Structure 1
């Protein structure tokens, strides 16, 4: 049973792992020409650590912990690129990765999905999973335009690495600026550091692929600010791993349409400021693949069970994201770019996903 996964981020590579584990044949298509290494630091906590343990990757992930003081007991903070690299390493021998291409169209019929690509030849798959992020093209093709589902939270964030901490305080928020914030995040004994620049704004129009334009937007927002800001802007212009995006959420009544299903940010983004995106991606991938296995590849039953398992969990994460956005510029302590969960970590655990022990040796019954 062939499954196409759009997006080779945390969610896509984790889903590929679990689908292959259960006997499916996943293919991952990624629009970038190489595996992404940007995005700064992500937090891992709770049931996500259990998922990594079941993948036999927890010990290696613990070795990658940046040891930021923002994490609580048992929680980890790792570089997004290193996490994706580890997940890719665990799958590349048995999973086909198609880099530098993307889905152009999907045509569903009773037997499967015909997919055309921007560069490659058309192919058929049993199912398509969209794990291509907040700006998901898969979601637009199968469900409708972005504007119907994306809720802007009024904050933009840029992250980029620094050559050490430049003599600036590590893992600390710089003095407050109205409607703006800057964090310096020292990691691994300050041998490396990341900057995170945040500013309040309504929705902005820009080319998502134009990094130079993104940097001009950030520079314009922070123009005239003193202290270390000019130094940070100079380093930003040289950074090779610059990342810029809105803090936004995706709200949908359903995460599947026929044979197309959405995962993590594509279907239920909680926003960067929730600090829960990477954890949610790992858990969602585990549950989706497991429910497909239990249902014997019968996607209507599997997708319905996937939503039942994840809905309450996602709702609480999104509530944390909204609360975090409301008070983001109110002097909260600095945390990592994707771990700025506003000090309400206990709330994030009130709705636990009880991870099922999905049959590890399942072989998909395909065709049904």
Structure 2
């Protein structure tokens, strides 16, 4: 089979690893000009994630590159400690920078798969024999199957399934990541409807704030920086100090907290994987969902003899209940409660061992709630 994957972050290369192992001819196209290194920390938790990483043959290397979950101290406006978020909550069982994981998967697949950087799909047309794809720069080609592993704002999903607004629901919050020269180690501060972390594993500065849906250019960081500055204007603690450094930040990312809601992950010869199919921004399980989804999708294709109709139906049947369970968590109200009382109640979870233990059991259940086939 000749298969095109759009997206070279985590989901795409994870699928490429399995497909190449089973003898498929795999091409991965990525809009970015190079592999995206660095980035925020991601984590794995529970037996299901560990099992898939082990079957991929990368568990030991992921452990070797892990950052190690760090405790996070919540402070008040005077900088006094209020409570501590344990590293096991923020970092799972294994925490690794997204870019390090992407680099590891790329290293394991680059010799078996063709990677095309700096290009993107502009149109797709399904025929009796495959999917005819045109590119922004490269020549058109026809593939047996097309996989959209290109994130929550998936270009493939838009081309195959329709506009983003038909499949992505805004959850009332925005977040930003910026690498700023700020002193402090993993400190978190809240005001109603907004949160800031400095010195954390996701980025040197990490912001989450409540807002109505905003209209902005996703490719204009200067416009996005202004939205962030406006949202945090008048803030206490060290917010004014941090804001003075935002305009000069060379590494800045801004996006909404949103959830992808789809009944079926495939249409004809096109199938979605990872955040493109079941993204839930900052929900805490996205990377684990991506590697589990890649495992199931590749193995269902292999087991069915590349009968894509059967394989895609089975993939959706297995993944959809698991993904929906993982999507139940909504990070915005937890990270940035809209009221002082909400902030106090959230902090209480980390002060009471019984409440924290119950929450950890719930998150572990979400991460493992799938009868993982052995294939």
Question: 1 CA distance for matches of 2:244 and 2:44?
Answer: 31
Contact residue 38 and residue 100 of structure 2 kept, 8 A: no
Pick from 309, 312, 323 the counterpart of residue 300 of structure 1. 309
Is the 1:62–1:76 Cα contact (8 Å) retained in structure 2?
A: yes
Q: For residues 342 and 154 of structure 1, what CA distance do their matches in structure 2 show? A: 28
Q: Which residue of 1 aligns with 2:134?
A: 116
How far apart, CA to CA, are the structure 1 residues paired with 2:213 and 2:275?
18
1:347 equivalenced with 2:362 (yes/no): yes
Counterparts of 1:127-206 in structure 2, within 5 Å, are 127-163=145-181, 166-168=182-184, 170-174=185-189, 176-186=190-200, 194-206=204-216
Secondary structure of 1:87's match?
helix
What is the distance in 1 between the residues matched to 2:186 and 2:156? 36
Cα distance between partner residues in 2 of 1:62 and 1:29: 28
Structure 1 residue 303: deviation in Å? 0.3
Contact 1:38–1:81 at 8 Å: present in 2 too? Answer: yes
Larger helix fraction of residues:
2
For normalisation by structure 2, the TM-score amounts to 0.85
Counterpart residue number, 1:57: 58
Unmatched segments (≥5 aa) in structure 1: 336-340, 359-368
Change (3 A) 1:49 1:232: farther
- Give the C-alpha shift of residue 62 in structure 1: 1.3
User: Which residue of 242, 253, 256 corresponds with 1:232?
Assistant: 242
CA distance in 2, matches of 1:95, 1:343: 44
CA distance in 2 between counterparts of 1:206 and 1:178 reads 24
How far did 1:357 drift? 2.8
Task: Work out which structure has the larger RCO, using CA pairs closer than 8 Å and 6 or more positions apart in sequence.
Answer: 1
Q: Is the 2:208–2:332 contact (alpha carbons within 8 Å) kept by the matching residues of 1?
A: no
Deviation track 1:203-234 (CA, whole Å, cap 9, x = no partner) reads 21111111121111111111222332133223
Query: How far 1:38 sits from its partner (Å)?
Result: 5.1
> How many Å separate the matches in 2 of 1:146 and 1:38?
27
Q: Could you say if the C-alpha distance between residues 122 and 34 of structure 1 is closer, same or farther in structure 2, counting changes exceeding 3 Å?
A: same
Report the TM-score, using the length of structure 1 for normalisation.
0.87
For residues 88-136 of structure 1, what are the alpha-carbon distances to aligned partners after superposition, in whole Å with 9 as ceiling and x for unaligned?
1111111111111100111001110100011110001000000111111
Does residue 281 of structure 1 match 2:281?
no
Give ranges in structure 2 of 5+ residues lacking alignment.
Answer: 72-86, 351-355
Task: Give the aligned partner of residue 77 of structure 2.
Answer: none
User: Match of 2:328, SS?
Assistant: helix
Task: Look up the match of 1:365.
Answer: none
CA distance in 2, matches of 1:244, 1:85: 23
In the superposition, relative to structure 1, how do residues 186 and 354 fare at CA in structure 2: closer, same or farther (>3 Å)? same
SS in 1 for 2:329: helix
SS at match of 1:319: coil
> Do the aligned partners of residues 305 and 185 (structure 1) sit closer, same or farther apart at CA in structure 2, a change above 3 Å counting?
farther
Aligned counterpart, 2:325: 316
Contact 2:43 2:92 survives alignment (8 Å): no
SS at match of 1:85: helix
